[in-house]
Structure 1
Amino acid sequence: MPTLTKLYSMEEASQHNTTDDCWVVIDGKVYDVSSYLDEHPGGDDVFLRTTGKDATDEFEDAGHSKSARELMEKFCIGELDELPPAIPELEIVSKKQGLPQKVLNFTKQYWVIPVGVVGVSAILGFLYLKKK
C-alpha cells in the first residue's frame, strides 16, 4: 500500500520558525528539524534564517556529506505544495451589456478636465502668438 505524503504550503512551513518548532524546506520537501537544532554543527541560527523560504541553495552551498543527507530523511514530514494559488474568477461582461454603469458615470464626469486644459492652452497660445 503506498504511503500518503502530506503537502504543506510555504506559508504553513514559515509559521514554524522558533527553536522549539522549526521547519525548513529543501528540494521540495518539508523537514521538522526542531529536535536536531542543538545537534546541528552550524548551530540553530542556520535553520532559523531559512524558515519561510526554500533553503535548497543554502543547503547545497554548505557542502553537506552523504551521511548528512541520509540523516535529514528522518526529519522529513512531507512535501511542499507547489501548486499556484487559485485565481479568482473574473466577471465577464458581454458586448450586449456594454460597460457597467459605474464606469460610464466615471468617464462622463472626468472628460471635462482634460478638454478644458487643452482648450485654455489653445486660447492662451493663440493670444500669445497674436501679440507677437
Structure 2
Amino acid sequence: MPTLTKLYSMEEAATHNKQDDCWVVIDGKVYDVTSYMDDHPGGDDVLLAATGKDATDDFEDAGHSKSARKLLDKYFIGELDETTVPEMPELKIYKKEQPKDFAQSCIDLTKQYWVVPVSIITVSIAVSVLFSRKK
C-alpha cells in the first residue's frame, strides 16, 4: 500500500520560521530542518532566511554537494501544495529601439556641434571685413 505524502501550504510552511521550529521549501518539498540548525555549515541564519518562500534558488546557488542533497531526505516531511504558492507577476520585456547607423550618428553629431562655431567664425569674418573697409 503506497504511503500518502502530506501536503503543506506555503502559508503553513512560512509559519515555521524560528530557531526552534524551522521549515524550508526546496523543489516543491517541505523539510523540517529544526534539528539541523546547529549543524548547518552556513549557520542557522542562512536557514532562517530561507523560510517563508521557495528556497530552491538559494539552495542551488549555494552549490550543495551530493551528500548535502542526500541529507535532505532525512528532514523531508511532505510536499508543497502548489496551488498555495502565490503567482509571480509576469515580467514584460520591452525591445530597445535599434540605434542609428554609427556613421550617420557621427555625421549628426558633427553637424550639431559645428554649426554654432562655424556661424560665429563666419559672423566674425564678416564684421572684420566691414570694419577694415571703413578705415
Q: Secondary structure at the match of 1:31?
A: strand
Partner of 1:103: none
Counterpart of 2:131 in structure 1 is none
In structure 2, how many angstroms separate the alpha carbons of the residues matched to 1:48 and 1:59? 13
* Mapping 1:22-101, distance limit 5 Å: 22-83=22-83
Change (3 A) 1:82 1:38: same
TM-aligned CA deviation for residue 82 of structure 1: 0.7
User: Which segments of 5 or more consecutive residues in structure 2 lack a partner in the other structure?
Assistant: 86-135
Tell me if the contact between 2:9 and 2:84 (Cα under 8 Å) persists in the aligned partners.
no
Give the secondary structure class of the aligned counterpart of 2:50: coil
Cα distance in 1, alignment partners of residues 17 and 75 from structure 2: 15
User: Deviation string for 1:11-69 (max 9, x for gaps)?
Assistant: 00000000000000000000000000000000000111111100000000000000000
Report how many residues are paired: 85
Q: Which has the larger radius of gyration?
A: 2
1:94 aligned partner: none
What residue number does 2:7 align with?
7
* Change in 2 beyond 3 A, CA 1:68/1:84: closer
User: Following the alignment from structure 1 to structure 2, what is the Cα–Cα distance between the partners of residues 83 and 39?
Assistant: 33
Percent pairwise identity: 78
Query: Quick one: distance in 1 between partners of 2:74 and 2:29?
Result: 12
Instruction: State the superposition RMSD in angstroms.
Output: 1.2
Q: What is the aligned partner in structure 2 of residue 21 from structure 1? A: 21
- Is the Cα contact below 8 Å between 2:11 and 2:84 reproduced in 1? no
The structure that is helix-richer by fraction is 2
Alpha-carbon distance, 1:83 to partner: 1.7
Q: TM-score when scaled to structure 2?
A: 0.61
What are the superposed Cα offsets for residues 50-102 of structure 1, whole Å, 9 maximum, x if unpaired? Answer: 111000000000000000000111100000001259xxxxxxxxxxxxxxxxx
Structure 1 segment 97-116 matched on structure 2, within 5 A:
none
What TM-score do you get using the length of structure 1 for normalisation? Answer: 0.63
Which whole-Å CA distance do the structure 2 matches of 1:4 and 1:62 have between them? 31
